[in-house]
Amino acid sequence: MPRSHYTGLAGQSHDQPAQAGVLLVNLGTPDAPTAAALRPYLAQFLGDPRVIEYPRWLWLMILHGVILRTRPARSAHAYASIWTPEGSPLRVGSEKLATALQASLQSIRPGPIRVALAMRYGAPSVRAQIEQLQREGVRRLLVLPLYPQYSATSTGSVIDAVSDTFKQLRWPPELRIVNDYHDDEGHIEALALSIERWWAAHGRGEKLLLSFHGIPQRYVDAGDPYFHQCQATARRLGARLGLDASQLIMSFQSRVGREPWLQPYTDVTVQRLAKDGVRRLDVACPGFAVDCVETLEEIAMQNRDFFTSAGGEALRYIPSLNDSSEQVASLTALILRHMQGWPECAGHP
């Protein structure tokens, strides 16, 4: 017999109860803070055509001929500076969030709702986790990318990975995907409560800077909604915190290359604020659900040094929501709302 192109599960039974599943997807992380571990991770990440929109032949020559020869060592230093005894902060924090969401959903809806975590790059992969959920009886699947604001470079890439997996399945589960939750009322409230709790414990700086991950300006010009969704998040969060335009500032971090990215740039902004006389600057990153190298190293270390070198006294990073009770509550409500109509979630808002 010819070999099948599709993955299937043997032993299906008509009396096997169907389950609903939630697949959380975060960006990913190398297995270790070393150049050897960074190289395959960066090859997968930077090799994604959703992330780098250049002619493939040209970009692959640059990636494998230049970038993967030099960048892994530099990136390994950044990862090593934030690595914990448990491992990667993004991996550990995402796992804790998944565990907390499983417990929260179980307390509200005892029964067949499974929560799993996948990484878009690295392990565990989207495909491996979807196949595992299928083995556990999941017939209805909600995919929740942990990116509050949609971008083709992030959520769009997760959709690609899910679609590629579904193409290989003989009997794909029913599918729903959360496109974004940038202006979700529960999410905005969770962000505000987290910032207010941090201020109550540490005092309040002179200004609050909201730093979002950047993308090339040409992606937005081509129709990516990311910039406008970041603006919406900042506007709603500022209104909830009672901050005016002089107290709340938005910027974009993590740019690479020479082409224009979304502005204003975070590193330029913190230096300008210090030179303008701001002494204590608070920074939050509402585009990151879980702390990672971009928040713990780039903001809390690199940009702190930029700020103090330019004359500021203290740049204080306010942690991401991580597995806080506020994030667990807001994502639980979001999940149940997106699962409405499925029998496993009947009777719940």
pLDDT tens track for 131-176: 999 999 999 999 999 999 999 999 999 999 999 999 999 999 999 9
CATH 3.40.50.1400 residue ranges for the chain: 19-29+88-180+326-345, 185-317
Helix (H, G, I), strand (E, B) or coil at 203: coil
The answer to whether residue 245 scores a pLDDT higher than 60 is yes
Backbone CA torsion sign across 52, 93, 84, 36:
negative
CA triple 328-125-215, angle to 5 deg? 75
Known binding-site residue numbers: 213, 294
pTM of the model: 0.94
Known binding-site residue numbers for Fe(2+): 213, 294
Nearest one of 132, 116, 113, 121 to 7, comparing CA atoms: 132
Using a 10 angstrom Cβ sphere, with 0-12 exposed, 13-18 middle and 19 or more buried, the burial of residue 222 is exposed
Q: Would you state the pLDDT for residue 18?
A: 78
Helical ranges in 109-168 per DSSP H: 126-135, 155-167
Q: Would you state the pLDDT for residue 1?
A: 54
Retrieve residue 148's tokens.
């509050």
Residue 203: HSE in the Cβ half-sphere, 13 Å Cα cutoff: 7
Tell me the per-residue pLDDT of 9-26, one tens digit each, with 9 for 90 and over.
655 656 667 789 999 999
pLDDT-derived band of residue 112, with 50, 70 and 90 as boundaries?
confident
Q: How far apart are CA 344 and CA 224, in angstroms?
A: 34
Q: Would you state the pLDDT for residue 5?
A: 74
Retrieve residue 119's tokens.
């990484």
Report the pLDDT averaged over residues 194-216. 98
Number of residues written out for the chain: 349
Higher pLDDT, 92 or 347: 92
Q: Would you state the pLDDT for residue 120?
A: 98
Report the pLDDT averaged over residues 94-120. 93
Using a 10 angstrom Cβ sphere, with 0-12 exposed, 13-18 middle and 19 or more buried, the burial of residue 179 is middle
Give the H or E element holding residue 4.
none
Determine the topology of domain 185-317 in CATH: Rossmann fold (3.40.50)
Say if residues 19 and 113 touch (Cβ distance below 8 Å). yes
In the chain, what are the helix, strand and coil shares in percent, each to the nearest 5? 45, 15, 35
Helix (H, G, I), strand (E, B) or coil at 37: helix
Q: Would you state the pLDDT for residue 272?
A: 98
Higher pLDDT, 317 or 342: 317
pLDDT-derived band of residue 31, with 50, 70 and 90 as boundaries?
very high
The CATH label, of 3.40.50.300, 3.30.365.10, 3.40.50.1400, 1.10.1040.10, for the domain at 19-29+88-180+326-345 is 3.40.50.1400
